[in-house]
């Protein structure tokens, strides 16, 4: 055999990869040998290989190939992730280029387009992994929206719900007050606009002292639940434990301490309005603050605002500027440039709004995860990463698992009424009808009265079942 003077990887690599594939070396069936199984962290179906994939897949292949040489039954299960947001965004964009809106064609039609997109572009990344030499058992390639996956994710959701590990709770979403619908982040367009920054002073209770805060949305002060200052801010040490009064309505709110506040910014005082701002909502949850929703779905204020029941948010903004001026609470108004979110569809200003979402209760679910590491059943290499793991799991908050998207595993919840609790959780519409009848006591309910949740299930649930689906073990 002629030996070339230079090694030519291009020729050699495709030749041997074909040879390995043709001879089925990557395929594994269970037998008496010790098994060595790796489940690929599935790359996004929309993805192309980047250096992060290169490193982690090289590591997996090195381990799998050595195990194979050691005579173990090595099996590396490949697959791709349906990538809810990434894929949906790409499909929405493609449709838009054809002048089609997602909302015009409806869920079913949209999903058809999504599948088409997946067939056309998905799986590039798996072909790229072959170039790297990845010795995956390609016969076992799975996709997280495959039928088995789909059913297992849905069933796991139901099981978690039945065990009380999934519940409905409030969270901030993007609300379109004209279309009366929630929007995903992708459907919000951020525009640079000229706004006003209002400096408003709040009187400290039982004192002649004031603190000043700045806001671009003065109407929201009617929903304030606290004033927040940095614990180390010496300018306000004397205010620790005191209360302030909301201007115009005189409601008492606590002064809370949190290092979330930037002392350098403005006066170092922050108003906290949990019902109308994403960050304030988190801060409110942390400090257990009251959530005061002052707005109706259509953008008018409600009776919680005390002063402006039924008046549109922008009219209130103009009026409240005058009122604050008159009451002596308006210190200054300056012009200000900021980015504001507009609805892609209706071009109205988005309101952050509390909405009922599905949550996984993390407290209970992380217990076995922590315990098995503590018991040495699961090990970390290098071991110091145990600390990161423990820190993360010990501090994890409840996890939102509903997504305002269509491309994904649809939430198996069926609503039969307007009440927060008027729903049942199960796989099929038939089952749902039976359950709904017995839960509501209303035998007259029909299939038309049932409406399935529009949202899809977030990844957390998928990850819980992934390892099992890959080895064809059903959590059912």
Partner 1 sequence: MSKTLGNSPDPIELIKKYGADGVRVGMLLCAPAGNDIPFDEGLCEQGRNFSNKIWNAFRLIKGWEVSEKEQPLEAKQAVKWFNSRIGTVLEEINDSFTKFRLSEALMSSYKLIWDDLCSSYLEAVKPAYGGKIDPRSLKETIEFFETTLKIIHPFMPFLSEEIWHRLADRPEKEDALIVAKWPEQEKGDELLQREWEVLSEILSDVKNQRNQYGISPKEALTGSVNISGRLNQDFSRLFKKLGNCTIDIISDGGDTSPRKNGVVSLDLGDKLQEEEKKNLEKELEYSKGFAKSVEKKLSDSDVLLWAHSKRRNSERKKLADALAKISQIEEKLEQMK
Is 7 a binding residue for partner 1 by CB under 8 A? The answer is yes
Among 36, 68, 166, 401, interactor with partner 1 by CB under 8 A = 68
**N residues, the chain:** 476
- The stretch among 7-15, 87-95, 297-305, 395-403 that binds partner 1 (CB under 8 A) is 7-15
CB of 215 to partner 1, least distance (A): 31
Q: Which helix (H) or strand (E) element contains residue 389?
A: helix 385-395
Q: Of the two residues 15 and 112, which places its CB atom closer to partner 1 in the complex?
A: 15
CB of 16 to partner 1, least distance (A): 5
- The stretch among 1-9, 159-167, 396-404, 426-434 that binds partner 1 (CB under 8 A) is 1-9
* Paired tokens of 420: 């927060």
> Which residues ranging from 117 to 136 are in contact with partner 1 (CB under 8 A)?
128, 131-133, 135
Secondary structure string (H, E, C) spanning 34-89: CEEEEECCCCECCCCCCHHHHHHHHHHHHHHHHHHHCCCEEEEECEEECCHHHHHH
All residues at 6 or more sequence positions from 285 whose CB lies less than 8 Å from its CB, including other chains: 274
> What does the alpha-carbon distance between residue 461 and residue 471 come to, in Å, rounded to a whole number?
17
Distance of CA 191 to the CA centre of its chain: 23
SS3 392: helix
Among 18, 58, 162, 347, interactor with partner 1 by CB under 8 A = 58
Among 17, 260, 415, 468, interactor with partner 1 by CB under 8 A = 17
> What does the alpha-carbon distance between residue 102 and residue 112 come to, in Å, rounded to a whole number?
12
With beta carbons less than 8 A apart as the criterion, state whether 359 and 399 touch.
yes
Q: Of the two residues 61 and 219, which places its CB atom closer to partner 1 in the complex?
A: 61
Q: Of the two residues 128 and 225, which places its CB atom closer to partner 1 in the complex?
A: 128
Among 6, 98, 208, 476, interactor with partner 1 by CB under 8 A = 6
Question: Tokens 């409406």 correspond to what residue?
Answer: 451
With beta carbons less than 8 A apart as the criterion, state whether 213 and 227 touch.
yes
Is 381 a binding residue for partner 1 by CB under 8 A? The answer is yes
* Paired tokens of 106: 């409806």
- The stretch among 5-13, 32-40, 92-100, 338-346 that binds partner 1 (CB under 8 A) is 5-13
CB of 61 to partner 1, least distance (A): 7
CB of 125 to partner 1, least distance (A): 10
Q: Which helix (H) or strand (E) element contains residue 282?
A: helix 278-287
Q: Which residues bind partner 1 (CB under 8 A)?
A: 1, 3, 5-7, 9-10, 12-13, 15-17, 19-20, 23, 25, 49-55, 58-59, 61-63, 65-66, 68-71, 128, 131-133, 135, 381-382, 384-385
């Amino acid at each position: 055999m002629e030996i070339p003077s230079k090694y030519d990887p291009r020729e050699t690599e495709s030749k041997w990869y074909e040879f390995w594939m043709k001879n089925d070396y990557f395929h594994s069936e269970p037998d008496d040998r010790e098994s060595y199984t790796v489940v690929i962290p599935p790359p996004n179906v929309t993805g192309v290989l980047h250096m992060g994939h290169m490193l982690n897949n090289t590591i997996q292949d090195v381990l799998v190939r050595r195990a194979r040489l050691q005579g173990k039954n090595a099996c590396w299960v490949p697959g791709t992730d349906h990538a809810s947001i990434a894929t949906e965004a790409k499909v929405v964009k493609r449709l838009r280029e054809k002048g089609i809106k997602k909302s015009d064609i409806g869920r079913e039609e949209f999903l058809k387009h999504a599948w088409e997109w997946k067939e056309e572009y998905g799986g590039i990344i798996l072909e790229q992994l072959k170039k790297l030499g990845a010795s995956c058992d390609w016969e076992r390639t799975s996709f997280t929206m495959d039928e088995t996956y789909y059913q297992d994710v849905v069933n796991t959701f139901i099981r978690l719900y039945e065990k009380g590990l999934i519940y409905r709770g409030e969270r901030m979403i993007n609300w379109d007050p004209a279309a009366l619908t929630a929007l995903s982040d992708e459907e919000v367009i951020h525009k640079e606009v000229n706004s006003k920054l209002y400096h408003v002073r709040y009187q400290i209770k039982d004192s002649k002292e004031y603190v000043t805060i700045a806001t671009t949305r003065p109407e929201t002060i009617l929903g304030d639940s606290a004033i927040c200052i940095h614990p180390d801010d010496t300018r306000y040490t004397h205010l620790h434990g005191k209360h302030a009064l909301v201007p115009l309505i005189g409601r008492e709110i606590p002064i809370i301490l949190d290092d979330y506040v930037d002392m350098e910014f403005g006066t170092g005082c922050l108003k906290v309005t949990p019902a109308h701002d994403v960050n304030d909502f988190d801060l409110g949850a942390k400090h257990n603050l009251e959530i005061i929703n002052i707005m109706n779905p259509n953008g008018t204020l409600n009776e919680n605002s005390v002063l402006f029941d039924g008046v549109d948010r922008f009219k209130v903004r103009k009026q409240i500027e005058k009122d604050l001026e008159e009451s002596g609470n308006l210190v200054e108004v300056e012009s200000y440039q900021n980015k504001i979110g507009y609805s892609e569809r209706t071009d109205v200003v988005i309101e952050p709004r509390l909405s009922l979402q599905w949550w996984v209760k993390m407290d209970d679910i992380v217990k076995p995860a922590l315990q098995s590491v503590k018991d040495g059943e699961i090990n970390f290499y290098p071991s110091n990463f145990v600390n990161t793991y423990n820190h993360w799991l010990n501090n994890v908050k409840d996890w939102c698992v509903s997504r305002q998207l269509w491309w994904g595993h649809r939430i198996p919840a069926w609503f039969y009424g307007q009440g927060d609790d008027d729903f049942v959780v199960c796989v099929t519409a038939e089952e749902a009808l039976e359950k709904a009848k017995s839960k509501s006591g209303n035998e007259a309910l029909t299939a038309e009265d049932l409406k399935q949740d529009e949202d899809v299930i977030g990844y957390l649930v998928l990850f819980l079942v992934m390892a099992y689906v890959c080895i064809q073990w059903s959590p059912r």
